[in-house]
A and B are shown apart, each in its own frame.
Chain A
Amino acid sequence: MKIHEYQAKEIFGKFGLPIPKGEVVTSPEEARNLAVRYEKPVMVKAQVHVGGRGKAGGIKYCKDPDDAFFAAQEVLGMDIKGLIVKKILVTEAIDIKHEAYVGIILDRASKKNVFMVSPAGGIDIEQVAAETPEKIMKFAVDPLLGLHQFEALKLARFVYPDIKIARKAASILKKLYNAFIHSDASLAEINPLILDGENNLIALDAKINLDDNGLFKHPDLENYRDLDAEDPAEMEAKRNDLSFVKLDGNIGCCVNGAGLAMATMDLVKYFGGRPANFLDIGGSSSPEKVIAALRIILDDPNVGVILFNIFGGITRCDDVANGIVAAVEKLKPRVPIVVRLTGTNEEKGKEILQSLDFPATNSMDEVVKMAIKEVSPVA
Chain B
Amino acid sequence: MAIFVDKNTRVIVQGITGRDGSFHTQQMLNYGTKVVGGVTPGKGGTDIFGVPIYDTMEEAVKATKANTAMILVPPPFAVDAIYEAAESGVSLIICITEGVPAGDMVGVYNYLKMKGIRLIGPNCPGIISPGLSKVGILPAHIFKKGPIGVVSRSGTLTYEVVYNLSNKGLGQSTTIGIGGDPIIGTNFIDCLEAFEKDPATEGIVLIGEIGGSDEEDAAKFIKQNVTKPVVGFIAGQTAPPGKRMGHAGAIISGSSGLAADKIKALNAIGIPVAEIPSQIADLMATKLAEYQKKKAKKKITKKPVAKKIARKKTVKKTAPKKAAPKAIKKAASPKKVVKKTAKKKAGKKR
A contact set with B: CB distance below 8 Å: 106, 108-109, 111-113, 126, 142-144, 181, 184-186, 211-214, 216-217, 243, 245, 247, 255-263, 265-270, 275, 278, 280, 283, 311-315, 342-344, 363-365
Interface centre among A217, A262, A280 (most CB of B within 10 A): A262
Hey, what's the 0/1 contact readout for B140-168 against A, CB within 8 Å counting as 1? 01100000000011111111100100000
B99 and A266 form a contact (CB under 8 A): no
A-B contacts at CB below 8 angstroms, number: 178
A217 and B101 form a contact (CB under 8 A): yes
B156 and A313 form a contact (CB under 8 A): yes
A213 and B75 form a contact (CB under 8 A): yes
A108 and B154 form a contact (CB under 8 A): no
Q: In this assembly, does B320 line the interface, its C-beta being within 8 Å of a C-beta of chain A?
A: no
A185 to B104, CA, bound (A): 11
A314 to B237, CA, bound (A): 26
A144 and B157 form a contact (CB under 8 A): no
- Across-interface contacts of A247 in B (CB, < 8 A): 238, 240
- Besides A212-B244, A213-B101, A314-B137, 20 more A-B contacts (Cβ < 8 Å) are A144-B111, A211-B248, A213-B99, A213-B100, A213-B181, A213-B248, A216-B75, A216-B76, A245-B239, A245-B243, A259-B156, A260-B156, A266-B236, A266-B238, A267-B276, A268-B238, A278-B246, A311-B156, A313-B142, A314-B24
B183 and A259 form a contact (CB under 8 A): no
B245 and A343 form a contact (CB under 8 A): no
In the complex, chain B residues 222-258 whose Cβ is within 8 Å of any chain A Cβ? 233, 235-240, 243-250, 254
A256 to B159, CA, bound (A): 11
Partner among B106, B154, B247, B250 whose Cβ is within 8 Å of the Cβ of A143: B106
A213 with B276: in contact, given A109-B213, A259-B247, A263-B160 (CB under 8 Å)?
no
The stretch from B82-90, B204-212, B336-344 touching chain A is: B204-212
A214 to B182, CA, bound (A): 13
A selection of 25 A-B contacts at a CB cut-off of 8 Å is A142-B110, A144-B111, A185-B103, A216-B75, A243-B245, A245-B243, A256-B156, A257-B156, A258-B180, A259-B152, A259-B246, A259-B250, A262-B246, A262-B250, A263-B157, A263-B276, A265-B238, A266-B237, A269-B237, A311-B163, A313-B156, A315-B156, A343-B139, A343-B163, A364-B160
Q: In this assembly, does B306 line the interface, its C-beta being within 8 Å of a C-beta of chain A?
A: no
A242 to B278, CA, bound (A): 26
Q: What interface size band does chain B fall in?
A: 35 or more
A213 to B79, CA, bound (A): 12
- Across-interface contacts of B238 in A (CB, < 8 A): 247, 262, 265-266, 268-269, 275
- Across-interface contacts of A111 in B (CB, < 8 A): 105-106, 109-110, 183
B277 and A270 form a contact (CB under 8 A): no
A108 and B101 form a contact (CB under 8 A): no
B155 and A184 form a contact (CB under 8 A): no
Partner among B101, B141, B154, B212 whose Cβ is within 8 Å of the Cβ of A259: B154
Interface centre among B107, B156, B210, B248 (most CB of A within 10 A): B156
- Across-interface contacts of B182 in A (CB, < 8 A): 106, 108, 186
A217 to B104, CA, bound (A): 11
- Across-interface contacts of A113 in B (CB, < 8 A): 103, 106
- Across-interface contacts of B47 in A (CB, < 8 A): none
Minimum Cβ distance to chain B for residue A36 (Å): 39
Minimum Cβ distance to chain A for residue B138 (Å): 7
A143 with B107: in contact, given A259-B152, A259-B153 (CB under 8 Å)?
yes
- Across-interface contacts of A267 in B (CB, < 8 A): 276-277
* B110 nearest in chain A by CB position: A143
B contact set with A: CB distance below 8 Å: 24, 75-76, 99-107, 109-111, 114, 125, 137-139, 141-142, 152-160, 163, 180-183, 207, 209-210, 212-214, 217, 233, 235-240, 243-250, 254, 275-278
A364 with B278: in contact, given A214-B101, A263-B160 (CB under 8 Å)?
yes
- Across-interface contacts of A259 in B (CB, < 8 A): 152-158, 180, 207, 209, 235, 246-247, 250
Closest CB pairs A-B (n = 9): A259-B154, A258-B246, A257-B156, A259-B157, A313-B139, A214-B101, A262-B235, A260-B156, A243-B246
Partner among B100, B155, B245, B249 whose Cβ is within 8 Å of the Cβ of A313: B155
- Across-interface contacts of A270 in B (CB, < 8 A): 275-276
Partner among A217, A258, A283, A342 whose Cβ is within 8 Å of the Cβ of B245: A258
- Across-interface contacts of A268 in B (CB, < 8 A): 238
- Across-interface contacts of A186 in B (CB, < 8 A): 102-103, 182
A106 with B276: in contact, given A259-B153, A260-B156 (CB under 8 Å)?
no
B239 and A278 form a contact (CB under 8 A): yes
Partner among B142, B183, B214, B247 whose Cβ is within 8 Å of the Cβ of A258: B247
A345 to B210, CA, bound (A): 31
* B236 nearest in chain A by CB position: A262
